[in-house]
Chains A and B, each alone.
Chain A
Amino acid sequence: MPKLNYLPFTRIVATPAALDVTIWPTEALALRTAADEVLLLSSAPPTLVDPHAIVVPDSGFVGAWLPAEAVQAIFEQHCEWALPATRSVFVQGAVAGIAAKLWLEAERGLLIVPAAYGHDFAERTGLA
């Protein structure tokens, strides 16, 4: 099983309207975690129309890219909610009793948890 590693996110908090119209850098992975918040995996910064937006580097999450079958297996064993059928899709909820985020593509998924819970999550799911 892959290991959980720190993820070099940029965390953005801005008005929902500003986030709605933001054009994210090409190749960026922008995960809308809340109406006013985005987790961004990108080497380039975004251009935001909100001058008061909070844009900070954030290493507070760990995660791992997993094959889709491995994601499915973890969900079957540790999650009461079903994986959505659509791809690509971003979902959030309790996995193995820990608040998790999942970016799911056709062949793989990026499973993300707060680094503070990484130890427990790894212990419970086998993502050592």
Chain B
Amino acid sequence: MNIIVNTMPVAFEAGDSVLVALQRAGLHPNRGGCLCAAGDCPHCLATVNGVAYVRTCQTLAQPGMIVESFPTDDYPHLPTNTQRGPTVSARNLHCDVVVIGMGESGQVAAAAATAAGKSVITLDDKVGQEVVGIYPELMVVARTSAGMLHIHAHDEVVVATGAAEIQPVAPGNHLRGIVTPRAAAHLAAKGVALGRVVVVESGDAVDLSASPTLNIIAHLKGQVLQFEGLDTLQAVVVLDENGHSQRIECDTAVVWLGLTPRDLLVRMAAGLKVRAVGDAAREADLPPCPDAGMVCSCSNVSAADLQRVWDQGFHEMELVKRATLVGTGPCQGVVCVPHMRSFLATRTAAADSSANPDIARLSKVQAPFTARPVVRQLTLGEVAAGAHHHATPRTGLDAEHRRLGAVMDRIGGWWRPWHYGNPLAEYWAVREAVSIGDVSTLGKIIVSGPDALAFLERLYPTKVSSIAVGRSRYVLILDERGYVMDDGLICKDSDTRYTLTFTSGGSSHAEMWLRDWAEGWNMDVRILNQTMSLGAINVTGPLATQLLQRAGLTQPYKFMQHGHASIADVPCRVYRLSFTGEVSYELHHPVDQSAKLWRTLMTLGADLGIRPHGLQTLLQLRLEKGHVIVGQDTDFDSTPRRIGMEWALRMDKADFLGKPAIERTNKTVLDKQLVGFEMPAPAPFEGANIMHEGEYVGYVTSSTYSPVLGKVVMLGWLKLVNGTLPSEVMIDGRPARRVDVPFYDKEGARAKA
């Protein structure tokens, strides 16, 4: 069985890790550095099957696996292919206690929790369950070969991950041929030839008698002063316990400096019920202060770099981390943190703290810095596992639009048809014949109750009491500052019940707005948001009434009148209004019957020249009528006066939301206004600057070419110059003229026909 390493086959045996296979072949997965063979260090990282930064010591070799070792002078390049990677699934599990690590202390913890009647989930990287983080609300995320696990612990998380061996820092510690004692034993057991071995340790901890195949030529107590070699270790210089320096030629150096707890998961879980047990809870050993050599090979930080930032005044763990990026790489500080602590402890002790109060307040041995998820490199697929993008709602006609070949887009928070392939034909169908459009996205909210009138009277700037049952009125919705927040209709159903409509993007906020004020004013009303429950089809055009009569409309509706009717055997609320400038009826109906109603209307209107129209046409039609779209034409500080819609206010009402602000702002000098412009084609882009005598005076908010008028019509914000609105301006470098709106059918005769 072979894996492919840098295009060459390399044999492996069943049960080998990729690292073992490489070492047995005399190869190193990385540039070099001490190997731990336990998943702690970054020195065995390689790219495996296209995934970079894989710990080869933790990865089981599989036939045909593609392994690319790190470049000698660079980090691996991340894949640049644009193909979507495999979808990674996530599985959510729930329990009382999660135990991470199933060594001796983990088993004891799990048994104790089970005996106490707790439900327990255990995780162990030795069986391929790599914990990558602990998150608020006690969620443990682990990677497995079958996908990600999201485990929700109700009581606590026990970290029993043991301790890592401290790796040496000395000149030459980047060479190949340096290992920890555990790695030496593991590699020897796997039949890896390590050649002449020198063991250097700080105490009496290393016992390699269980590894008889190791050719140990020297076993010393002391400290490594230098590793010598080019790419591969050739000799080690040791300061022994007697203070003598000796140089020993060797192929492998086994170095022991003590243990440091694997406590990253605990350090990222401050405030959560997470505790360490066993070696994960032990005190960290402190290695000798590093004076030379690579401290953090992940971020290429040397002992000299630590000294440099110390001299610059960075004396705390967190600050040294930020100044050097030490501890921020793939091993997350497992290798470098012990040496940082030793370095800072030594420098702090040696510093004249009386002259430097900043140093005086530091503890002698500083605690490791805060850890943060994730502690393992993840693919984007693994990060995204279980996450869902924000879903965009679809109307009951969504499938119908797509069947008709509509170009769909997300607009106003919904999937909506932009056009059906021929927007100009759609436009003329509305102006000259009949057309239907999907307006299901409009906000529709019922307000009912004994206080309904009083509530709406206080909320809206119009005189609600003057609306008759069965009639509707266009209204602005203002906030407390008198700014235009939304617009829509008030439709009176009975003396105690009203239906309110809002813009597509505004309905969710409108519901909260209504509920908030109803509660704040202690109004006895009930509120129901029907936006997603009712479909709505706009039947518009000079032949709209004729079409609806064919579909079952038995009585004529006056402009701004509404009522109930059965249209094409679908129960509808019929609203006579107009946003397009033509005769229009909105048919609000149960959303499960949208397709039936739509198709019947299309069939009945075939000989009338019916076409569906998309949003592109709707926006064109409304602009010809000068209708404002809140959010597009309005800004955050748009008052009714600024948008030229003071007619929608009843300032003689005792009160309404925003009235005091309107009264106050009306006393100030008008500085800008939303006005209409016209010019020859082509239409400038929306947002184009408006210039007057070389000065910026505003910008275009809506712009379209009007087929019926044969010119471009626009809305835009215009500053007053010397107290007046300029009549002649330049837009898009071309002359344009300010005109009154509406641009088309100024008397509204077509809509009211």
Contacts and interface: CB of A to CB of B under 8 A. Distances in A.
A82 B391 contact: no
A48 B526 CA distance: 14
B534 A98 contact: no
Interface string A80-92: 1110000000000
Nearest to A15: B526
B389 A97 contact: yes
A115 B526 contact: no
Contacts of A76: 91-93
B152 A58 contact: no
Contacts of B666: none
Interface string A7-32: 00001011100000000000000000
A73 to B, nearest CB: 10
Contacts of A79: 92
Contact of B527 (A13, A59, A118): A13
B395 A116 contact: yes
Counting contact residues on chain A (CB < 8 A from B), the size range is 35 or more
B532 A116 contact: yes
Contact of A11 (B89, B150, B450, B533): B533
Interface string B440-475: 000000101110000000000000000000000000
A57 B395 CA distance: 18
A89 B449 CA distance: 31
Contacts of A121: 391
Interface string B628-665: 00000000000000000000000000000000000000
Nearest to B446: A54
B530 A56 contact: yes
A36 B518 CA distance: 13
Interface in A108-128: 114-121, 124
Given A11-B533, A75-B92, A77-B91, A97 B390 contact: yes
A6 interface: yes
A52 B448 contact: yes
B94 interface: yes
B453 to A, nearest CB: 12
B530 A60 contact: yes
A61 to B, nearest CB: 8
Interface string A29-55: 000000011000000000000101110
B591 A115 contact: yes
Interface in B146-161: 150, 152
A96 interface: yes
B393 A116 contact: yes
Nearest to A124: B388
Contacts of A98: 388, 391
Contacts of B94: 82
Contacts of B449: 52
B588 to A, nearest CB: 11
B532 A114 contact: yes
A52 B526 contact: yes
A76 B533 CA distance: 29
A122 B92 CA distance: 19
Contacts of B591: 6, 59-60, 115-116
A41 B610 CA distance: 38
Interface in B311-343: none
B391 A80 contact: no
B446 A80 contact: no
Contacts of B139: 80
A8 to B, nearest CB: 9
Interface in B356-405: 386-396, 398
B528 A11 contact: yes
Contacts of B91: 76-77
Question: Which among A15, A50, A80, A96 has the highest number of chain B CB atoms within 10 Å?
Answer: A80
B391 A97 contact: yes
B140 to A, nearest CB: 12
Nearest to B137: A80
B605 to A, nearest CB: 25
B592 interface: yes
Contacts of B152: 80-82
Nearest to A36: B526
28 contacts: A6-B592, A11-B528, A15-B526, A52-B448, A52-B526, A53-B526, A54-B526, A56-B446, A58-B533, A58-B590, A59-B533, A59-B590, A75-B92, A77-B386, A79-B92, A80-B150, A81-B152, A97-B387, A97-B390, A98-B388, A98-B391, A115-B532, A115-B533, A116-B394, A118-B394, A119-B394, A120-B392, A120-B394
Interface of B: 89-94, 139, 150, 152, 386-396, 398, 414, 446, 448-450, 496-497, 524-528, 530, 532-534, 590-593
- Which 8 residue pairs of A and B lie closest in terms of their CB atoms, listed nearest first? A60-B533, A97-B388, A116-B393, A59-B592, A120-B391, A82-B94, A6-B592, A59-B590
Interface of A: 6, 11, 13-15, 36-37, 50, 52-54, 56-61, 75-82, 96-98, 114-121, 124
Given A6-B592, A13-B528, 11 more contacts: A52-B449, A54-B497, A57-B590, A77-B91, A78-B92, A80-B150, A98-B391, A115-B532, A117-B391, A120-B394, A124-B388
